[in-house]
Amino acid sequence: MKADPVAQLRCLIGVQREYGLSSWRSRDIARFRLARSRSYYRAVRAALRRRVGGQRFDFTLQTQSLFNAALPGFPNFVYTDHVARAALGGTPEALGEPSEAWWACEREIYEEAAHVFTFGPKIRGMLASQYGIAGTKASAIGAGASVVPQRPVDVTTARYAARKIVFVGVDWERKGGPELIAAFRALRRRLPDATLTIIGCQPQLNEPGVTVLGRLPLAEVEAHYHEASCFCMPSRLEPFGIVFIEAMQFGLPVVATDVGDIGAIVAEGRTGRTARAGDVDALTEALFETLRDPDRCRTMGQAAIERAKQFTWDEVARRILAHVPGQPIDSSLALEPSW
């Protein structure tokens, strides 16, 4: 697309026709609407067919659903953590919602796919309820983690008695950072020895008990996972949340919100706790109930390790290949995690 200025111009004209002049109010709005326009969808599909249309494949696999990689004669599989109609906490008001034309394009992606794999069950359900995709054509297969333990995980009570909370996220506002700080202040009135370490972003804070580290190499992130007592990221908007799987692998109970498919990852009261997005009082209580009893916190951490074993990239690959024609299927193995 970048090498074809004529196609780019056609796409921009198409965006204006589809969404109107308001598309040019900002770069963010323009990008959002361009990627969700019928003209861009058609241009990308045509470019893809020109590039690889003459080749032969056993199958194709695309991640996310902002384009259509289906080629004539070959099964195409889609692996996505979202659908446009999902109520995952709301699209930023300034960006607006995708157009009806885009929803028709997105539906075509799913209709032409041999099978659609979603990260979690909420999005799988929406494929049926909002797009008319048969339940037998969609599976919620989970996801894996980017950071995994390279040494044994400490599950002694002393670790959980330290009451060290860790937050790992880049987008401070969207990941619920302000709510976390408000809840942490209230928590310290009940558990004054609690601490909070913030990794991945650098909010300007001067709070007792809070350490802001910003972006770190993955090896250093791993070290902080090993040292923490629990993980907290109270997202306002989150389709799935791979970071929660990462934390559970390190024996961390998870405190999060119930948006998107987070509630399907975190087993309430067993591997962590969830609160309604934006509810600081509920978040404070969830943190308190997780950290107040080190033995109970340890039990949740151990349960988190066991649950995380269902969420690995090897398991994701196996679940996908089970739907590819000609691949042997072991009927004794589950095709989805235990949601």
pLDDT for residue 122: 93
pLDDT for residue 328: 77
pLDDT for residue 88: 46
What's 282's DSSP letter?
Answer: H
Does the pTM surpass 0.85? The reply is yes
Average of per-residue pLDDT across 140-148: 94
Reported as half-sphere exposure (CB side, CA atoms, 13 A), residue 180 has a value of 29
Name the residue with higher pLDDT: 7 or 258. 258
Closest CA to 172 of 212, 213, 203, 195: 203
Collapsing DSSP to helix, strand or coil, 284 comes out as helix
Confidence of residue 307 (pLDDT cuts 50, 70, 90): very high
The structure tokens 């048969």 sit at 134
* Calpha distance 248→59 (Å, rounded): 33
Compute the residue count for the chain: 339
pLDDT for residue 241: 94
Maximal C-alpha separation, the chain: 66
Confidence of residue 95 (pLDDT cuts 50, 70, 90): low
Determine what percent of the chain is predicted with pLDDT higher than 70.
96
Lowest mean pLDDT segment, chosen from 6-20, 127-141, 261-275: 6-20
With 60 as the cut, is the pLDDT of residue 90 above it? no
With 70 as the cut, is the pLDDT of residue 140 above it? yes
* Calpha distance 68→76 (Å, rounded): 9
Confidence of residue 334 (pLDDT cuts 50, 70, 90): confident
* Calpha distance 233→255 (Å, rounded): 7
CA-angle at 71, arms to 66 and 77, nearest 5° = 60
Cross-strand partners of 254: 231, 272
* Calpha distance 4→109 (Å, rounded): 24
Write out pLDDT tens, residues 192-215: 999 999 999 999 999 999 999 999
Determine what percent of the chain is predicted with pLDDT higher than 90.
85
With 70 as the cut, is the pLDDT of residue 94 above it? no
Collapsing DSSP to helix, strand or coil, 121 comes out as helix
Are the beta carbons of 184 and 165 closer than 8 angstroms? yes
Are the beta carbons of 31 and 23 closer than 8 angstroms? no
**118 contacts: CB under 8 Å, gap ≥ 6:** 79, 80, 81, 124, 127, 138, 139, 140, 141
Give CATH for domain 157-308.
Answer: 3.40.50.2000
pLDDT for residue 331: 63
* Calpha distance 48→160 (Å, rounded): 51
Lowest mean pLDDT segment, chosen from 89-103, 157-171, 252-266: 89-103
**338 contacts: CB under 8 Å, gap ≥ 6:** 310
Are the beta carbons of 77 and 45 closer than 8 angstroms? no
Write out pLDDT tens, residues 56-67: 999 999 999 999
Q: Where are the domains of the chain?
A: 5-140, 157-308
Confidence of residue 325 (pLDDT cuts 50, 70, 90): confident
Query: Mean pLDDT in the chain?
Result: 93
